[in-house]
Structure 1
Amino acid sequence: MPGVRQPGFAQVLHAEWVKFWTVRSTRWSLGLLFALGAGLTTLVCWAAATDLAAGDTGEAPAAFLTWGLLFSQLTALALGTLVVTSEYGTGMMRATVTAVPRRGRVVAAKVVVLTVVLFVAGVVTAVAGYLGGNWFLDREGVGLALSDDGVLRALLGNGLYLAGLGVFALATGLLIRHTAAALTVGMALVLVVGNVAYALPGTWGEWVAKLLPGNAGGAVAQVAPFNGGAVLAPWTGFGVFVAEVAALLLVAVLVFRRRDA
Structure 2
Amino acid sequence: MTAAPATAAHPGPGPAIDGRAGFGNVISSEWLKIRTVRSTFWTLVTLFAGSAVITLLICLAAADSYAKDLAAGKPDSADIVLVGLAFVGQIAAYVLGVMTISAEYSTGGIRTTLTAMPRRTEILVAKAILLAVMVFVIGLATAFLCFYLGNIPLRAKHVNVNLSYPGATRAIFGSALYLAGLSLFGLAMGFLLRHTAGAITIGLALIFIIGNLVQLIPGSVGRWLFKVMPGNAGGQVTAFGETDRHADKAFAPWTGFTVFLIEVVVLLIVGALLFERRDA
TM-score bin, normalised by smaller chain: over 0.9
Which whole-Å deviations, capped at 9, do the CAs of 1:59-99 have from their partners, x for residues lacking one?
Answer: 62312122112321111111000000100011111111111
Does structure 1 residue 233 correspond to structure 2 residue 233?
no
- The counterpart of 1:54, out of the listed 45, 49, 68, is 68
Alpha-carbon distance in 1 for matches of 2:220, 2:51? 33
Following TM superposition, by how much is the alpha carbon of 1:178 offset from its aligned partner in structure 2, in angstroms? 0.8
Larger radius of gyration: 2
Following TM superposition, by how much is the alpha carbon of 1:204 offset from its aligned partner in structure 2, in angstroms? 2.7
Query: What letter matches 2:275 in structure 1?
Result: F
Corresponding residue of 1:23: 37
Which whole-Å deviations, capped at 9, do the CAs of 1:156-200 have from their partners, x for residues lacking one?
Answer: 111110111111111111111111011111111111111212222
- The counterpart of 1:87, out of the listed 104, 107, 120, is 104
Corresponding residue of 1:63: 79
Which whole-Å deviations, capped at 9, do the CAs of 1:232-256 have from their partners, x for residues lacking one?
Answer: 1110000000000000100000010
Alpha-carbon distance in 1 for matches of 2:175, 2:49? 15
Say if 1:190 and 1:214, in contact at 8 Å, map to a contact too. yes
Does structure 1 residue 96 correspond to structure 2 residue 75?
no
Query: What letter matches 1:64 in structure 2?
Result: I
Alpha-carbon distance in 2 for matches of 1:55, 1:199? 29
Partner SS for 1:66: helix
- The counterpart of 1:13, out of the listed 15, 27, 30, is 27
Corresponding residue of 2:92: 75
Query: What letter matches 2:263 in structure 1?
Result: E
Bigger proportion of residues as helix: 1
> TM-score scaled by structure 2?
0.87
Corresponding residue of 2:179: 162
Following TM superposition, by how much is the alpha carbon of 1:224 offset from its aligned partner in structure 2, in angstroms? 4.6
Following TM superposition, by how much is the alpha carbon of 1:38 offset from its aligned partner in structure 2, in angstroms? 1.6
Gaps of 5+ in 1: none
Say if 2:166 and 2:241, in contact at 8 Å, map to a contact too. no
Say if 2:98 and 2:200, in contact at 8 Å, map to a contact too. yes
- The counterpart of 1:246, out of the listed 239, 250, 265, is 265
Matches within 5 A, 1:215-234: 215-224=232-241, 230-234=249-253
Does structure 1 residue 36 correspond to structure 2 residue 50?
yes
Q: Taking structure 1 as reference, are residues 55 and 42 closer, same or farther at Cα in structure 2, changes over 3 Å only?
A: same
Identity of aligned residues (%): 45
Q: Which runs of 4+ in 1 moved over 6 A?
A: none
Alpha-carbon distance in 2 for matches of 1:235, 1:149? 15
- The counterpart of 2:190, out of the listed 167, 173, 187, is 173
Alpha-carbon distance in 2 for matches of 1:15, 1:147? 42
Does structure 1 residue 129 correspond to structure 2 residue 146?
yes
Residues 127-136 or 48-57, more deviating: 48-57
Cα RMSD over matched residues?
Answer: 1.8
Corresponding residue of 1:260: 279
Q: Taking structure 1 as reference, are residues 197 and 36 closer, same or farther at Cα in structure 2, changes over 3 Å only?
A: farther
Say if 2:234 and 2:260, in contact at 8 Å, map to a contact too. yes
Query: What letter matches 1:22 in structure 2?
Result: T
